């Protein structure tokens, strides 16, 4: 039998890679983790974590208006956005060190450098060759760049560039009304920046349910955020004071001006320069082609996260990485493999069991098909909707805008999907997701006692609405 340096080589220490590496060692596999930058990947260092830190600081800043309603006078003249930036970096750096500690604790060989796959069981880092029985690609993605809208990270910003701002612009154009674009529009508007969002599609957040998105859009408009949908950006011009953006829509052509523009039009998988195609791994539009257990066309090589065509979400990458190493562990003949702890019953993630989350205010969270998709697929469904303001807690905390929507099978009442918009929606969604995964019915949620007053009562009432007996509506 062939001898390898490690049972598993993982390339990329983001949420897909480091979680997979830790899980691999828990299962008794020897593992090396290769990373060219910081542990934690994009999500932890220049994505999820620092952006959520900014969102938190922006919401704290906005609470000043509520204090003023109580008669408290605030002097904001000393406000420095650089302190907000420093807090976001502190959160990212702290968690990056935490990941490094976990890697060390789990006895994972951590190798710094740029990796290239040079064989079905071989990776080269610099001049060093390392072998592994299995190789896992988890190299993530980067912001998509558009011709004519190339990033300079001064006036034309990527999501990385906007995170690294130490001074607020007076005004900002956001190109792209997806999750990233709207989250930064949320942050900047709360800090007083005049924000205009440009989206070529008919509506913002095209992948989310239209009814819940409308709640968010109305809130944004009340705050002065202008969202131009069905609008195409045709030309970008840099000026002494910032940028000019030429746009077209049904109302004609016009020019928008701002100090900076954030281009947030998707992400590109980091699959070039890895040598994948040279060893037989097939790529489709830059994404790695995978089958069951995220195995590529090369039997010993797997890929997860943003490099495969699944939702580009950190929690998706982590779970996919777990599926891979648990499968590898069950296939291993190594005596050290703790196979009893492996539970790779899934060959791939069920897309209808993946929660999505948008960290605006109000928040949006969902799983399963939207109502429009359910209609397109001609699913025999019914829906139950309960407004947030029907739950006393939402009124008490002055967050009454929102709703809980449940789509369920009209005959069996099995939960098909759920869509929530409102305060803490990203936390509430999991009760409904667990119910679906456990094959519970709306009745089970409806009849379970929920503490009062809580926002989760809106979930209970939506479930009761599905059963035809909502109380507070």
Summarised one tens digit per residue, pLDDT across range 405-463 is: 999 999 999 999 999 999 999 999 999 999 999 999 999 999 999 999 999 999 999 99
Q: Report the percentage of the chain scoring pLDDT > 70.
A: 97
Q: Residue 41: name the closest of 179, 139, 183 by CA.
A: 139
**What is the pLDDT at residue 344?**
55
Nearest partner of 359 among 94, 178, 141, judged by Cα: 178
Residue 332's pLDDT band (cuts 50, 70, 90):
confident
Query: Superfamily assignment of 6-142+268-341 in CATH?
Result: FAD/NAD(P)-binding domain (3.50.50.60)
Residue pLDDT, tens place only, 50-95:
999 999 999 999 999 889 999 999 988 889 999 999 999 999 999 9
Residue 428: how many CA atoms within 13 Å on its side-chain side? 31
Are residues 231 and 261 in contact, defined by beta-carbon separation less than 8 angstroms? no
Q: Are 459 and 432 in contact (CB under 8 A)?
A: yes
Q: How many of the other CB atoms lie within 10 Å of CB of 111?
A: 20
Identify which of 395, 303, 342 has the alpha carbon closest to the alpha carbon of residue 12.
303
Q: Please give the mean pLDDT across all residues of the chain.
A: 95
1 confidence band (pLDDT: 50, 70, 90):
low
Q: Where are the domains positioned within the chain?
A: 6-142+268-341, 156-265, 351-467
What integer pLDDT is reported at residue 383 of this predicted model?
98
71 against 343, higher pLDDT: 71
Is the predicted pLDDT of residue 345 greater than 70, yes or no?
A: no
Of the pLDDT bands very low, low, confident and very high (cuts 50, 70, 90), residue 340 is low
Whether residue 343 lies in the annotated active site: no
User: Which numeric CATH code is attached to 156-265?
Assistant: 3.50.50.60
Strand order in the sheet with 381-387: 356-358, 363-367, 415-422, 403-409, 381-387
59/362 Cα distance (integer angstroms): 11
| CA–CA gap between residue 18 and residue 356 (Å, rounded) | 21
If you classify domain 351-467 with CATH, what class do you get?
alpha beta
CB within 8 Å of 375: residues ≥ 6 apart: none
pLDDT at 429: 98
CA gap 320, 326 in Å, rounded: 10
First-to-last CA distance in the chain?
A: 68
Q: Which of 159-173, 270-284, 342-356 has the lowest mean pLDDT?
A: 342-356
Asked whether residue 342 carries a pLDDT value surpassing 90, the answer given is no
> What average pLDDT does this structure show over 42-52?
92
> Tens of pLDDT along 304-315?
999 999 999 999
| pLDDT band at residue 331 under the 50/70/90 scheme | confident
Which one from 186, 413, 452, 472 is the annotated catalytic residue?
A: 452
Sequence-separated (6 or more) residues with CB below 8 Å from residue 315:
15, 354, 355
Residue 11 CA to residue 29 CA, distance in Å, equals 16
- Which two structure tokens, joined as six digits, stand for 22? 């830790």
Fold match between domain 6-142+268-341 and domain 156-265:
yes
């Amino acid at each position: 039998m062939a001898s390898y340096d490690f049972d598993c080589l993982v390339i990329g220490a983001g949420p897909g890679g480091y979680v997979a590496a830790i899980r691999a060692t828990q299962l008794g596999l020897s593992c090396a983790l290769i990373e060219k930058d910081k542990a934690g990947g994009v999500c932890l260092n220049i994505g999820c974590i620092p952006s959520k830190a900014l969102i938190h600081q922006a919401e704290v800043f906005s609470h000043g208006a509520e204090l003023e309603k109580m008669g408290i006078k605030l002097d904001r003249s000393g406000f420095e956005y650089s302190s907000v930036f420093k807090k976001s970096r502190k959160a990212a750096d702290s968690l990056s060190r935490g990941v490094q500690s976990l890697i060390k604790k789990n006895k994972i060989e951590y190798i710094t450098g740029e990796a290239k796959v040079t064989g079905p069981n071989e990776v080269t880092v610099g001049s060093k060759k390392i072998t592994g029985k299995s190789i896992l690609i988890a190299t993530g993605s980067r912001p998509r760049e558009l011709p004519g809208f190339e990033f300079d990270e001064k006036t034309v910003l990527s999501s990385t560039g906007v995170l690294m701002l130490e001074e607020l612009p007076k005004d900002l154009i956001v190109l792209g009304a997806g999750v990233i674009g709207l989250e930064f529009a949320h942050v900047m508007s709360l800090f007083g920046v005049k924000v205009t969002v440009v989206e070529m599609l008919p509506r913002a957040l095209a992948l989310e349910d239209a009814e819940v998105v409308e709640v968010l859009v109305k809130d944004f408009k009340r705050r002065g955020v202008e969202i131009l949908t069905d609008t195409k950006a045709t030309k970008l011009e840099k000026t002494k004071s910032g940028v000019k953006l030429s746009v077209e829509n049904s109302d004609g052509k016009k020019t928008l001006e701002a100090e900076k523009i954030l281009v947030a039009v998707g992400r590109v998988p980091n699959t070039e320069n890895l040598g994948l195609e040279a060893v037989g791994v097939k790529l489709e539009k830059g994404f790695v082609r995978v089958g069951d257990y995220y195995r590529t066309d090369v039997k010993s090589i797997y890929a997860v996260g943003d490099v495969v065509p699944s939702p580009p979400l950190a929690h998706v990458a982590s779970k996919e990485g777990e599926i891979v190493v648990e499968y590898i562990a069950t296939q291993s003949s190594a005596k050290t493999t703790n196979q009893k702890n492996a539970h790779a019953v899934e060959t791939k993630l069920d897309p209808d069991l993946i929660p999505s989350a948008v960290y605006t205010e109000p928040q949006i969270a969902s799983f399963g098909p939207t109502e429009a998709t359910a209609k397109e697929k001609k699913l025999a469904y019914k829906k139950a909707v309960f407004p947030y303001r029907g739950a006393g807690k939402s009124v008490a905390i002055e967050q009454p805008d929102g709703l809980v929507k449940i789509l369920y099978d009209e005959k069996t009442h099995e939960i098909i999907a759920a869509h929530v918009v409102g305060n803490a929606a990203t936390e509430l969604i999991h009760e409904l997701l667990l119910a679906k995964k456990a094959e519970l019915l709306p009745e089970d949620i409806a009849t379970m006692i929920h503490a009062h007053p809580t926002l989760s009562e809106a979930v209970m009432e939506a479930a009761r609405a599905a059963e035809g007996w909502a109380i507070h509506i």
